[in-house]
Chain A
Amino acid sequence: MSELISIKDLLIQRNGRNVLKIKSLEIQRGETLAIVGPNGAGKSTLLLALAHLIRPKHGEILFNGRPIHQMDDLEYRRKISFVFQDPLLMDMTVYHNIALGLKFRGTDKDETHMRVGRWSQAIGVESLLARRAGQLSGGEAQRVSLARAFVLDPELLLMDEPFSAVDPPTRAQLLKDLSTLLSQDHRTTIFVTHNLSEAAQVGSRMAVIINGELKQVGTPQEIKLAPADKSVEEFLKEL
């Protein structure tokens, strides 16, 4: 495996206050990295920085070896896909929601139809394609947002606590389906969660962020057995 993302000396500030500091972090092509940490630790900030939706104070993020701030903004954003905590679907049918990113890219109708069909089936929403977004349950809506992200065939998939707003049984099913999908698809994915078991289920590696600092990176087992410091140990205990 080679590195898809490499972060070096990253510092992100908000209103003059440091909100995220990462000395170094590499994400391998095809791996699923789970980012864990308490609420407000800076996990979502990292995803927004990776999506180039916020600019760091200093440091750089390399994508395929190229600093993203030197890449064309739109060209870079079209290599990635983002799933937020809430589905944030548009007021249109499920089909058009899933096809939205393809429409932005000017994909032709036949190709769009084929890809929407394929991914709606893979994610289990093919029976919902004609429905309006407002008619979906929370779990269905989140499945649609997953299909909307996967259909773009992104090089990097960013997921910000995608199942935290759904009920526990639905969450368990969605996690299971996502884990299966990612293990078959081998898509580079960064999955943010504050739930350790979710992280262990989805991610091959885990990165722990506490108080805006990257504390430790390793497999779930490594982190559980040998926490890097007291704060990581405390965080694991709280869970």
Chain B
Amino acid sequence: MLFDNEIFQITLLSLQVSALATLISLLIGLPFGTWLALGNFRGRSFVLSIVNTGMALPPVVVGLLVAMTLWRSGPLGGLRLIYTPVAIIIAQTVISAPVVMGLTAAALASLDPRLQQQLLGLGASRPQMIWYLWREARLPLLAALMAGFGSVISEVGASMMVGGNIKGQTRVLTTAIVLETSKGEFGNALALSALLLILTYLINLALTLIQQKGRKR
């Protein structure tokens, strides 16, 4: 059986890397998704189709590409990030950012297009208009955040490839589950799986409560 301290460390690292990756995805995905939804430029549909494809990126493929980039002989090898938590954050951001981006664009596109004109007609500056559009679409935007977090807390392929599942350094809940299963320690694997599910549930419960509070306001 894994030691309690080790479980705590693995759980904490899982939450840290996934939360940071989701936060970075939000910082990239929210403005870019807004630009995609509100912009009127040539090639918009093409960019949108790329983002939508990105929402279905297989984590193992992302892991491979990020690993090749961060590998010693790769273009960013000099940064010595491979097999570090930072590498996992980078890979998870690549997985999560298109999800947040695509769902942000969809959330804003679902609003009445005249709402933009109405806000501008009431004297809103462009940042004020965008802020109030986000406010109006806050429920689907929170769903985008939940989907972004869900896509990374549960992935294993990318974390395994760029993190290496090193004990005490880059082992996260999903990679630990794979390891315990490969060792035939199904009890440990099941216990870790239950822990992962409970954590994911608690985080989504908190976000859902915020979302529903917003609906009642």
Contacts and interface: CB of A to CB of B under 8 A. Distances in A.
Interface in A97-117: 100-101, 104-105
Contacts, number: 54
Q: How large is the interface on A (under 10, 10 to 19, 20 to 34, 35 or more residues)?
A: 20 to 34
Interface in B104-130: 112, 114-115, 117-118, 120-125, 128
Nearest to A88: B118
Interface string A33-55: 00000000000000010010100
B132 interface: yes
B217 to A, nearest CB: 8
Chain A interface, DSSP helix/strand/loop, else mixed: mixed
Contacts of B121: 51, 53, 77, 80-82, 84, 158
Chain B interface, DSSP helix/strand/loop, else mixed: helix
B163 to A, nearest CB: 42
Contacts of B117: 48, 51, 53, 82, 84
Interface in A137-157: 148-149, 152
A147 B124 CA distance: 17
A148 B119 CA distance: 11
Contacts of A92: 217
A91 interface: yes
Given A86-B112, A101-B122, A148-B122, 15 more contacts: A74-B125, A80-B121, A81-B122, A82-B122, A84-B117, A84-B121, A88-B114, A88-B115, A90-B132, A91-B217, A100-B132, A104-B122, A104-B123, A104-B125, A152-B123
